[in-house]
Protein backbone atom coordinates (compact mmCIF):
# COMPACT_ATOMS: atom_id res chain seq x y z
CA UNK A 1 0.00 0.00 0.00
CA UNK A 2 1.38 3.42 -0.99
CA UNK A 3 2.01 5.68 1.99
CA UNK A 4 -0.55 8.23 0.75
CA UNK A 5 -3.21 5.52 0.51
CA UNK A 6 -2.88 4.62 4.20
CA UNK A 7 -4.33 8.01 5.25
CA UNK A 8 -7.32 7.46 3.00
CA UNK A 9 -7.75 3.95 4.42
CA UNK A 10 -7.84 5.34 7.97
CA UNK A 11 -10.34 8.00 6.89
CA UNK A 12 -12.59 5.31 5.41
CA UNK A 13 -12.33 3.20 8.58
CA UNK A 14 -13.43 6.25 10.58
CA UNK A 15 -16.29 6.99 8.21
CA UNK A 16 -17.55 3.40 8.42
CA UNK A 17 -17.12 3.06 12.17
CA UNK A 18 -20.18 3.42 14.40
CA UNK A 19 -17.90 4.18 17.36
CA UNK A 20 -14.24 5.23 17.22
CA UNK A 21 -12.12 5.66 20.35
CA UNK A 22 -8.65 7.18 20.60
CA UNK A 23 -5.86 5.89 22.86
CA UNK A 24 -2.97 8.31 23.35
CA UNK A 25 0.46 7.92 24.92
CA UNK A 26 3.47 10.13 25.58
CA UNK A 27 4.32 10.40 21.87
CA UNK A 28 1.42 12.78 21.19
CA UNK A 29 2.81 15.31 23.68
CA UNK A 30 6.45 15.43 22.56
CA UNK A 31 5.48 18.19 20.11
CA UNK A 32 4.38 20.19 23.17
CA UNK A 33 7.88 19.92 24.63
CA UNK A 34 7.14 17.09 27.07
CA UNK A 35 9.77 14.33 26.74
CA UNK A 36 8.38 10.86 26.21
CA UNK A 37 9.44 7.93 28.32
CA UNK A 38 11.28 5.61 25.98
CA UNK A 39 12.65 7.28 22.84
CA UNK A 40 16.39 6.58 22.51
CA UNK A 41 18.46 9.53 23.66
CA UNK A 42 15.46 11.64 24.72
CA UNK A 43 13.35 9.35 26.86
CA UNK A 44 12.70 10.56 30.38
CA UNK A 45 13.42 7.15 31.83
CA UNK A 46 16.97 7.02 30.49
CA UNK A 47 17.75 9.65 33.12
CA UNK A 48 15.99 8.05 36.10
CA UNK A 49 14.16 4.92 37.19
CA UNK A 50 10.40 5.59 37.01
CA UNK A 51 9.55 2.62 39.17
CA UNK A 52 11.36 4.44 41.94
CA UNK A 53 10.87 8.16 41.20
CA UNK A 54 7.11 7.80 40.71
CA UNK A 55 6.34 4.93 43.07
CA UNK A 56 4.10 4.69 46.10
CA UNK A 57 7.06 3.17 47.96
CA UNK A 58 9.07 6.39 47.65
CA UNK A 59 6.00 8.65 47.99
CA UNK A 60 5.05 7.19 51.38
CA UNK A 61 8.39 5.94 52.74
CA UNK A 62 10.78 8.61 51.49
CA UNK A 63 8.63 11.70 50.76
CA UNK A 64 11.65 14.03 50.66
CA UNK A 65 13.07 12.03 47.78
CA UNK A 66 9.71 11.96 45.98
CA UNK A 67 9.19 15.73 46.24
CA UNK A 68 12.78 16.35 45.11
CA UNK A 69 12.52 14.18 41.96
CA UNK A 70 9.17 12.63 41.01
CA UNK A 71 7.05 15.64 41.98
CA UNK A 72 9.23 17.93 39.85
CA UNK A 73 8.48 15.76 36.80
CA UNK A 74 4.76 16.25 37.42
CA UNK A 75 5.09 20.01 37.86
CA UNK A 76 7.20 20.34 34.71
CA UNK A 77 4.08 19.55 32.64
CA UNK A 78 1.95 22.33 34.14
CA UNK A 79 2.75 25.05 31.62
CA UNK A 80 2.77 22.85 28.50
CA UNK A 81 0.39 23.83 25.72
CA UNK A 82 -1.58 21.55 23.38
CA UNK A 83 -0.17 20.95 19.91
CA UNK A 84 -1.80 20.41 16.53
CA UNK A 85 -2.64 16.76 17.26
CA UNK A 86 -4.54 17.62 20.46
CA UNK A 87 -6.57 20.29 18.67
CA UNK A 88 -7.38 17.98 15.74
CA UNK A 89 -8.69 15.31 18.14
CA UNK A 90 -10.87 17.87 19.93
CA UNK A 91 -12.31 18.95 16.57
CA UNK A 92 -12.90 15.34 15.48
CA UNK A 93 -14.88 14.76 18.68
CA UNK A 94 -16.91 17.90 18.06
CA UNK A 95 -17.59 16.78 14.47
CA UNK A 96 -18.76 13.35 15.64
CA UNK A 97 -15.93 11.28 14.17
CA UNK A 98 -14.61 10.06 17.53
CA UNK A 99 -16.46 9.08 20.70
CA UNK A 100 -13.80 9.67 23.35
CA UNK A 101 -10.11 9.93 24.15
CA UNK A 102 -8.47 7.42 26.47
CA UNK A 103 -5.09 8.78 27.54
CA UNK A 104 -2.10 7.40 29.38
CA UNK A 105 -0.82 10.96 29.73
CA UNK A 106 -1.09 13.06 32.87
CA UNK A 107 -0.42 16.42 31.20
CA UNK A 108 -4.04 17.67 30.84
CA UNK A 109 -3.40 18.71 27.22
CA UNK A 110 -6.49 17.02 25.75
CA UNK A 111 -8.74 19.07 28.03
CA UNK A 112 -6.77 22.24 27.31
CA UNK A 113 -7.34 21.62 23.59
CA UNK A 114 -11.09 21.26 24.10
CA UNK A 115 -11.69 17.51 24.24
CA UNK A 116 -14.77 16.81 26.37
CA UNK A 117 -14.87 13.05 26.96
CA UNK A 118 -11.42 12.10 28.25
CA UNK A 119 -10.56 9.04 30.34
CA UNK A 120 -7.29 9.61 32.23
CA UNK A 121 -6.21 6.05 33.00
CA UNK A 122 -2.97 7.13 34.69
CA UNK A 123 -4.49 10.05 36.60
CA UNK A 124 -3.78 13.76 36.12
CA UNK A 125 -1.73 16.67 37.48
CA UNK A 126 -4.53 19.19 38.14
CA UNK A 127 -5.32 18.03 41.66
CA UNK A 128 -4.14 16.20 44.73
CA UNK A 129 -6.14 14.53 47.46
CA UNK A 130 -5.95 13.55 51.11
CA UNK A 131 -5.13 9.90 51.73
CA UNK A 132 -7.17 10.07 54.94
CA UNK A 133 -10.39 12.05 54.33
CA UNK A 134 -10.38 12.24 50.52
CA UNK A 135 -10.42 16.06 50.36
CA UNK A 136 -9.49 17.19 46.82
CA UNK A 137 -7.13 20.17 46.49
CA UNK A 138 -5.41 21.91 43.58
CA UNK A 139 -1.90 20.84 42.60
CA UNK A 140 -0.93 24.48 43.21
CA UNK A 141 -1.71 24.04 46.91
CA UNK A 142 0.52 20.97 47.07
CA UNK A 143 3.28 22.90 45.33
CA UNK A 144 2.93 25.85 47.73
CA UNK A 145 3.08 23.59 50.80
CA UNK A 146 6.13 21.71 49.48
CA UNK A 147 7.94 24.94 48.58
CA UNK A 148 7.44 26.07 52.20
CA UNK A 149 9.10 22.86 53.39
CA UNK A 150 5.92 21.02 54.39
CA UNK A 151 6.96 17.50 53.34
CA UNK A 152 4.82 15.53 53.13
CA UNK A 153 2.12 18.18 52.59
CA UNK A 154 -0.74 17.88 55.09
CA UNK A 155 -4.50 18.25 54.67
CA UNK A 156 -5.92 21.46 56.20
CA UNK A 157 -9.11 19.61 57.17
CA UNK A 158 -7.84 16.49 58.95
CA UNK A 159 -4.03 16.74 58.92
CA UNK A 160 -3.82 13.63 56.77
CA UNK A 161 -1.19 13.30 54.04
CA UNK A 162 -1.89 14.93 50.67
CA UNK A 163 -0.64 13.37 47.46
CA UNK A 164 -0.91 14.07 43.71
CA UNK A 165 -3.82 12.41 41.87
CA UNK A 166 -1.45 10.57 39.54
CA UNK A 167 -1.37 6.78 39.28
CA UNK A 168 2.02 5.80 40.72
CA UNK A 169 3.80 2.49 40.38
CA UNK A 170 2.17 0.46 43.14
CA UNK A 171 -1.22 2.19 42.89
CA UNK A 172 -4.43 0.52 41.79
CA UNK A 173 -5.89 1.66 38.48
CA UNK A 174 -8.51 4.42 38.77
CA UNK A 175 -12.21 4.28 37.91
CA UNK A 176 -11.43 5.87 34.54
CA UNK A 177 -9.66 2.67 33.48
CA UNK A 178 -12.79 0.58 34.01
CA UNK A 179 -14.80 3.11 31.99
CA UNK A 180 -12.15 3.10 29.25
CA UNK A 181 -12.31 -0.71 29.11
CA UNK A 182 -16.07 -0.57 28.44
CA UNK A 183 -15.59 2.13 25.80
CA UNK A 184 -12.97 -0.02 24.04
CA UNK A 185 -15.16 -3.13 24.20
CA UNK A 186 -18.01 -1.21 22.62
CA UNK A 187 -15.94 0.31 19.81
CA UNK A 188 -15.66 -0.55 16.12
CA UNK A 189 -12.31 1.21 15.76
CA UNK A 190 -9.47 2.21 18.06
CA UNK A 191 -6.77 4.60 16.90
CA UNK A 192 -3.62 4.41 19.02
CA UNK A 193 -1.52 7.58 18.88
CA UNK A 194 1.96 7.95 20.33
CA UNK A 195 2.01 4.85 22.51
CA UNK A 196 4.50 1.99 22.45
CA UNK A 197 1.79 -0.24 24.01
CA UNK A 198 4.24 -1.76 26.49
CA UNK A 199 2.60 -0.62 29.75
CA UNK A 200 0.05 -2.93 31.37
CA UNK A 201 -2.86 -3.04 31.78
CA UNK A 202 -3.54 -0.27 29.21
CA UNK A 203 -1.89 -2.31 26.46
CA UNK A 204 -4.80 -4.78 26.65
CA UNK A 205 -7.27 -2.14 25.40
CA UNK A 206 -6.43 -2.30 21.65
CA UNK A 207 -7.33 -6.00 21.61
CA UNK A 208 -10.91 -5.18 22.62
CA UNK A 209 -11.76 -3.15 19.51
CA UNK A 210 -12.89 -4.69 16.20
CA UNK A 211 -10.49 -2.59 14.11
CA UNK A 212 -7.17 -0.99 15.00
CA UNK A 213 -5.02 1.82 13.62
CA UNK A 214 -1.61 2.67 15.08
CA UNK A 215 0.14 6.02 14.66
CA UNK A 216 3.52 5.77 16.35
CA UNK A 217 7.11 6.47 15.36
CA UNK A 218 8.38 3.11 16.63
CA UNK A 219 7.08 -0.46 16.45
CA UNK A 220 4.46 -1.74 18.88
CA UNK A 221 3.46 -5.29 19.82
CA UNK A 222 0.07 -4.74 18.13
CA UNK A 223 1.38 -3.66 14.69
CA UNK A 224 0.82 -7.08 13.15
CA UNK A 225 -2.91 -7.15 13.82
CA UNK A 226 -3.53 -3.47 13.00
CA UNK A 227 -5.56 -2.52 9.90
CA UNK A 228 -3.12 0.34 9.29
CA UNK A 229 0.19 1.47 10.79
CA UNK A 230 1.58 4.98 10.29
CA UNK A 231 5.15 5.71 11.40
CA UNK A 232 4.90 9.44 11.74
CA UNK A 233 4.37 12.20 14.30
CA UNK A 234 0.82 12.55 15.56
CA UNK A 235 0.31 16.04 14.15
CA UNK A 236 1.53 15.15 10.65
CA UNK A 237 -0.47 11.93 10.41
CA UNK A 238 -3.72 13.38 11.74
CA UNK A 239 -3.47 16.41 9.44
CA UNK A 240 -3.30 14.11 6.41
CA UNK A 241 -6.11 11.84 7.61
CA UNK A 242 -8.38 14.85 8.18
CA UNK A 243 -7.84 16.01 4.59
CA UNK A 244 -9.24 12.71 3.36
CA UNK A 245 -12.07 12.77 5.88
CA UNK A 246 -13.38 15.93 4.28
CA UNK A 247 -13.67 14.22 0.90
CA UNK A 248 -14.74 10.71 1.89
CA UNK A 249 -18.52 10.29 1.80
Binding residues for NAD(+): 26, 30, 37-38, 104, 106-107, 122, 195-196, 216, 234
Residues 6+ apart with CB under 8 A from 71: 142, 146, 164
Q: Which segments are annotated as binding site for nicotinamide?
A: 37, 106-107
Binding residues for Zn(2+): 130, 133, 155, 158
Q: 3-class DSSP state for residue 2?
A: coil
8 A C-beta contact, residue 199 and residue 48:
no
Write out the DSSP string of 88-102: HHHHHHHTTS--EEE
| Residue 114, strand partner residues | none
Annotated binding-site residue numbers: 26, 30, 37-38, 104, 106-107, 122, 130, 133, 155, 158, 195-196, 216, 234
110 classed as catalytic: no
Q: Where are the beta strands (DSSP E) in the chain?
A: 20-24, 100-103, 118-120, 123-130, 136-138, 162-166, 189-193, 211-215, 228-230
Distance (Å, rounded) from C-alpha 89 to C-alpha 98? 8
Q: Which of 86, 110, 122, 211 is catalytic?
A: 122
State the catalytic residues: 122
Amino acid sequence: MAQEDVYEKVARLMENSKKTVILTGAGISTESGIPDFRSPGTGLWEKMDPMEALSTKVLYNDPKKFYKSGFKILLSMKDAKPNKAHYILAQLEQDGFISCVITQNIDNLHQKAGSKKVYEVHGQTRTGSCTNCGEVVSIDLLEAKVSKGEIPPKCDKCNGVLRPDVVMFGDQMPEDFEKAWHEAEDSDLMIVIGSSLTVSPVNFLPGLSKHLVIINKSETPEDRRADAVIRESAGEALSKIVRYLKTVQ
